[in-house]
Chain A
Amino acid sequence: MPSIERRAIAPYLFFLPALLLFLAFSVYPFYLLTHTSLFEWDGISPAKTFIGLSNYWNVLAHDRVFWTSFSQAGTITLLALVLQNALALLLAIAVNRRLAGGTLYRTVFFLPPILSEIVVGLIWFWIYDGNFGILNEALSHLGLARFARAWLADPNTALTAVAIIHMWKGFGWGFVIFLAGLQTIPEQLYEAARVDGASAWLRFRHITLPLLVPVCVVVSILTILGTMQIFALIIATTGGGPGYHTEVPITRIFHSMLGTSRFGYACAQGIVFGLILLVFSLAQMRFQRRVS
């Protein structure tokens, strides 16, 4: 082979192993997922029944619970986007001011994300317990016993209660990313603004916030993708109940696959779910480009 041709091929040979891994562990499973979604299959039987797009039709047209689970995951996501990220930003700004014990705060704020979701779920289950829960005890001591309830079993509070746990566990990620973003903003900009007499709010509004937009977009994408895929926390606290009040898409997919042995249907649910997340991500990336 002539030397020039060899040199032309060489770069492709270098990425061939990565390509093979990508095909084996991403493309092929996705093909299998799509293929299975066209069949009625219990996950064990040797025979599958081809049913075309029926699974998709049933997901889109008949599965009210699946769409309810979407809106519930959306509610948790919205709460996380606003409250969790606002808290993360606030704490990041506070720690960025070189407070005494800043390292300690960083460690403490980053503790919840590294805890197992199951452990976090169990801890909060004890807090929320309707019979001997810490929260109800605290309310009683404050003379607010009339507000005591089984927080995770009450349809009016269950979803919010789960969302609070999720936000508590998740704000540390946003905190770390926001803090990193804040530390990249040149100090001279603030000094110049101070010289010009800008108040703290104006400095935040006109320096910090615009320069943090790319970081905000990243944190938002991570929050949306992470929250929409919430699963272990739900399993550890409510299992999707009471009724269907804390069901989210992944618990429904899990239930279809292992609870009712409908593998084909679960695959169709997974693909619909994945496509919707993809649309969200693309929209956000476009938004980021526009803002940038």
Chain B
Amino acid sequence: MTRIKSVRHLTQRGTCLTLLALAGSAVLLGIAGCGKPKAAQQPGPLRVWHWMTDREAAFDELARRYQQETGTRVRFELYAPSDIYVQKVRAAAQTGGLPEIYGVLGELRDLASFINAGHVLPLEEAMSRNGNAWRSVFFPKALAVNTFTRENAYGVAPGVYGVPVDVMNVQLFYNKRLLATLGLDQPPDTWEAFLDVGRRAAAQRLIGFVSGWAELWLIDCFATDYAIHEMGMKQVEATYRGKVPYTDPDWVRVLGRFAELRDSGVLAEGIVAMGNKRAEQLFANGQAVFAFNGTWGVNVYQSMNPALEYGVVMPPRTDPNRPMVTWGGAGSSFFVNAKSPRREEAIAFLTWLTAEPQQRYLTEATQNIPANRSAAADLPAPLAAFADDMDDTVHPRLFSVQEESTVIEAFDKGIQSILIGERTPEEVAARVQETKRLEASRRATRAARQEGGHAID
């Protein structure tokens, strides 16, 4: 009886309304929590978002020094791996929650989208202050990667948008001891000699070449190097513009290089499923003769095996009369949130971070090539080799035209198909060209829609 009474009591008006009000408040609070965060009332630390696990401790130390010098607190927030970081930044951009300073990973069109959406502060004015004082400290290529030219295809106002923290390029590491085992005292400088080393390595049951070719971008670096080496930049850009098809014999020849690599036996078993961490382990443990890896490898190998004896060279030429290039430019760059009220503080911090003493500290602590030219004057041997070749670097962001992401994917996945012996270079070229045709048709539809006024804000 008492229970029935209490149930009735629940349905009485006052209790009902109280419960409803509580539940409603909870829902409203929940929904409000999903909205845009309000600007902090008290100036907290300047927040810097990054994905660089290897530099976490060094960044924290620099933040501590900056607070000591200026009284401004800076907090580096690490979100890794890079896939997660990309999601984090995009979600924050959509909800207005970006920090004062952050990095943008991806292609040039992604950076352009961030700029066009008003998330990135133009730094042209800051770079030009005091007779270009800030601009002049950087390697020109490092800055160029963060610069939009007047003719850019994305409608971005020309100028500098990003601050490079370091520079990098991707080259061929070689294990000196293993090379000697194969009867060589110098790394091969021609393609044929390189393939021959691969054959010798295979005969001695050694792993010839490792790289993280499960990660498509490293395949793309290698392929881009050889495309530019064999065809020249003009032909590559003409292809991106749709003037030269991927079925052109030059492209088929570039794709054919991967079939030659496969047939020579130089490649590690299962290289298409190999992440770069695994490739780095194999090379650091002295199990592979060559590794195609970036500047950051110096730090990785140092931490994994300080006794490893290795050298660094440009990838071998297929044509001795043409210059070899290597993929590189700015390593990591930071951008200032244009919507942050603390833009000037962010610029001041980045100016300090890229000054010579801080850049020297970063180089010592993380074994990366600094973006500041003066700090790169007396680098240790492996890094100096990378720095010497900075003038021969190419970077897709510096091309006058960028290829569509879907075409790049078809190209890189196609190379994997060649490496596993599933398709011929001709078949891959045809498939890539088909993807290019579909993409062109999609772009035409989009352009027509935009002209017809279907774009909405």
Contacts and interface: CB of A to CB of B under 8 A. Distances in A.
Interface of A: 6-7, 10, 13-14, 16-17, 20-21, 24, 39-40, 42-51, 54, 58, 62, 125, 129-132, 149-155, 158, 237-239, 241-244, 255, 258-261
Query: Which 3 pairs of residues, A with B, have the shortest CB-CB distance?
Result: A150-B270, A130-B270, A153-B270
A243 B27 contact: no
B117 A44 contact: yes
Nearest to A158: B273
Nearest to B453: A50
Given A153-B274, A239-B273, A242-B273, 12 more contacts: A17-B26, A44-B113, A47-B457, A48-B457, A50-B454, A51-B445, A51-B454, A130-B270, A238-B273, A241-B413, A242-B416, A243-B416
A255 B270 contact: no
A13 B22 CA distance: 12
B272 interface: yes
B106 A261 contact: yes
B207 interface: yes
Contact of B422 (A47, A155, A239, A260): A155
B374 interface: no
Nearest to A254: B83
Interface centre among A44, A149, A155, A243 (most CB of B within 10 A): A44
A42 B404 CA distance: 13
A265 B270 CA distance: 32
16 contacts: A6-B16, A17-B23, A21-B30, A44-B117, A46-B457, A47-B457, A49-B446, A49-B454, A49-B456, A50-B456, A54-B445, A130-B268, A130-B270, A132-B287, A153-B273, A242-B272
Contacts of A39: 456
A261 B16 contact: no
A125 B87 CA distance: 25
B269 interface: yes
A283 to B, nearest CB: 33
A47 B456 contact: yes
B284 to A, nearest CB: 14
Interface string B258-280: 00000000001111111100100
Nearest to A24: B31
A258 B19 CA distance: 43
Interface in B403-457: 405-406, 409, 413-414, 416-417, 419-420, 422, 438, 442, 445-446, 449-450, 454-457
Interface in B86-117: 86-87, 90, 93-94, 106, 109-110, 113-114, 116-117
A56 to B, nearest CB: 13
A152 B275 CA distance: 12
Contact of B27 (A17, A44, A45, A152): A17
A150 B269 contact: yes
A6 B17 CA distance: 11
A42 B273 contact: no
B87 A258 contact: yes
A46 B116 contact: yes
Interface string B14-46: 001001100110110011000000000000000
Contacts of A153: 269-274, 420
A50 B214 contact: no
B451 to A, nearest CB: 10
Contact of A131 (B109, B214, B270, B450): B270
B282 interface: yes
A21 B27 contact: yes
B420 to A, nearest CB: 5
B11 interface: yes
Contacts of A261: 106, 109-110, 113, 405
B192 interface: no
A118 B334 CA distance: 29
A44 B90 CA distance: 7
A239 B214 contact: yes
B150 interface: no
B273 A244 contact: no
A6 B12 CA distance: 9
A276 B282 CA distance: 43
A134 to B, nearest CB: 14
Nearest to A246: B273
Nearest to B431: A64
Contacts of A62: 438
Given A24-B31, A51-B454, A17 B83 contact: no
A158 B420 CA distance: 12
Contacts of A125: 278
B130 to A, nearest CB: 33
B119 interface: yes
B13 interface: yes
A152 B273 CA distance: 6
Interface string B298-336: 000000000000000000000000000000000000000
A39 B457 CA distance: 11
Contacts of A260: 405-406, 409
B344 interface: no
Contact of A239 (B86, B215, B419, B456): B215
